Structure 1
Amino acid sequence: MKTIDVNTVINRDKLSPLQWLVFVLGFLVFFCDGLDTGIIGFIAPALLDDWGITKPELAPVLSAALVGMSIGAIISGPLADKFGRKKVIISTTLIFSIFTVLCGFATSTQDLTLYRFITGIGLGAAMPNISTIVSEYMPLKRKAFLTGLAGCGFMLGISCGGLLSAYLLESLGWAKVIIIGGSLPLLLVVVLIAKLPESTQYLIKTNRNTEAQRILETIQGHGFAEAVTLKLAQAEVQTQVSPVKQVLGKYLWSSSMLWLCCFMSLLVFYLLTSWMPTILKTAGFTTQQFSLIAAIFPFGGVIGATIMGWYMDKLNPTVVIKYSYLIAFGLFIVAGFVSSNILFLGITIFLIGALLAGAQSSLLPLSTLTYPSSCRAVGVSWMHGIGRIGAIIGAFFGSLIFTFDLGLSSLFYILAIPTFISFIALSLKVIREKSKVKHPLKFEEAA
């Protein structure tokens, strides 16, 4: 009986139709996640006018989903290790879709806060698990690029939320816009049930070798010529140490630096995506202007993450991302100087999006490369969960902008600080990894 390493089948030069299908489905889950995450920020100005509430009163609504996302991300890793990636992805996508639709029927801030909290649980649990399963189906040579490219769907989804708001908000109202945003992933759930395969690594670790073999035969386009025994790469071999103990033990330093980087990055990202439309409206922009300008930021992230993913497969991926944060830090300083010029401000926001939002999106493939499959679901989801705490703080800090009457220039100068801390965190991660072993860290061991 022949022994086959599953990665020898997955690491093919040309992606099979099944691998492309996983990539496309992953992109669509990311897109819907981004759409339903960001749409609340775009409809916020209309909600303030419609309900006659103050900006501080809106803060719990904007941050409720972020609290839920943190909880959802943290609990989803152990759930995925127990029940499988596919089941968690499908159930959580269904959750955030249904409760986004319900947000359109809310009649009070209390109802809307509750619905957004439950929506956030689904949003936070879906993202790290779809990232994990996409990563596990992509060949090593293009793993970072393709995983990051699928993750661009999140940024594109946020941008499309801005476009929906720009052209439909005044004619349809905020409730119908958010209902439209929640309806799209309902359709996707049906496709996921029928077409999304389970992770082959998970199937082998749970002794479902027949299912795993069937998937691998589909990838290679033919059956195995003889009876085979499937095995995982050495770094993927099942260990008696629990995934949580691995993350908090062997991978504690890398995990801590990823948590700090993600925390600071999401603080900046969600402050801008949640409050930028309201900030720009207060500064005198029209509905169409503030929606389009705010949409430029995440759209820049699509471009940036695509370019970064390509370089991450050719260079040290951590180094690529850390320098993106460093340049974004400089651009925030520039934004403070050009905030009074709408053209230069728009260009600078786009470039910040390309670097900061692109780097944030690229943390997904970086985290999947950092951990072996034995603790990957926990490692990736915990980075998201702890990072979301920064997002919560960012959303609350946004309301303080109006309390302390901070101008655009002051805001950009302040946001430069956590961006620089993200750079420092990844720099420390690289230094520690180089000093820990005699040879450079081999990311392919986590493939």
Structure 2
Amino acid sequence: MNIIENPNPSEWSDILKRPTQTVNDIETTVNEIFEDVKRHGDAAVAKYTSIFDGVSLENSLVSEAEIEVATNQVSEDLKTAIKKAFSNIERFHAAQKTSRVEVETTNGVKCWQEKRGIEKIGLYIPGGTAPLFSTVLMLAIPAKIAGCKEIVLCTPPNASGKIANEILFAAQLCGVSKIVKVGGIQAIAALTFGTETIPQVYKIFGPGNQFVTVAKQLATKFGVAIDMPAGPSELLVYADDSGNASYVASDLLSQAEHGADSQVILVSTSKGFITDVSAALSSQIEQLPRRDIAKKAIANSKLILVENESIALNLINAYAPEHFIICSANESVFINGVQNAGSVFIGNYTPESAGDYASGTNHTLPTNGFSRAYSGVNLDSFSKSITFQKITAEGLLELGPVIEAMAAAEGLQAHKNAVSLRLNDLKN
């Protein structure tokens, strides 16, 4: 990792740049595939599955028999672990439910808000080198709690045309409506337009590589909502001498092994601690089965020494990390001061892996600095708020003149008339 000492704030933008391609590098490919899927449906999807995943499928839909076989092949220990994670995630997201909000703004004028689950949603579950069955839990559990009626899950098949047993088990556990063996750009396009076998949805959720991220953004041009621009994983750790260098190194590597385009950063006020972490990284990375991937990500990563906590906090907020770990003797400074982060992990005994799997919070989070404006996935992500109002005759008599005056001032006579006609009847 590159060690950078006391960089000038004018250099932060370049130092904190993500190792991602620009949209222009990717957008042409995404547009071509979207147009092909829009025109040719399942045939186009099958073509790109063959090209990108190296497998030709007679039927991309997962059958009940396949789910049963897969479930039987998942070990009982892992099933127990998944069910425990399920319970924690369900508990945390169920607690986010809000009741109807009702206010009488004026005598006889009652306004209220109710939430409704989005009827049709698509879940994108990355496959690739590490099928993320944990993401199934993170997305399908709140979807069910929110009351989404149709949940369509897309995930790429392996070279044998199969989906990881754990993904199928988790999907069945969560009550997913339909599972489709399709990944990448073609999956997002199919969910956007609908095909002969893949339903069109109203909102698409889930992380992915840069191509999937751009595809999701393109989907919004066709009236389909997305959770957020969630691209390659990233982690920023702030740690001082109260931290444990071995723990911090393990956290950095836990994100680096996601993919070559992941990024991890350590910010510290202690040069000695940075040296210790660097040594621990070099030792631990050699023990990892995915060390080749991790090494590529580490090459894009940084160890940054700053003079004090105030500078550290400003740098962290400028970066706006997806995951932010605090290992500080003054942790409250960072807890209270962080403005831009997807999810925060506090203390030496709170690894980021806990949020990835089983503590209860959601791991689908904004990357590439989008935590400046986006939240991570939560229960509200799967619903929309509808406002209602009911006005009595007495209420309109009181509020009507206000509406008339405002409509007349804006030159919208029909708006004024809609009130005046009623007021005239009530007064006569």
TM bucket (normalised to shorter chain) is under 0.3
More strand by share: 2
Between Structure 1 and Structure 2, the one with more helix by share is 1
TM-score normalised by L of structure 2: 0.27
Scaled by the length of structure 1, what TM-score is found? 0.26
Whose relative contact order is higher, 1 or 2, with alpha carbons under 8 Å and at least 6 apart? 1
Greater Rg over alpha carbons, structure: 2
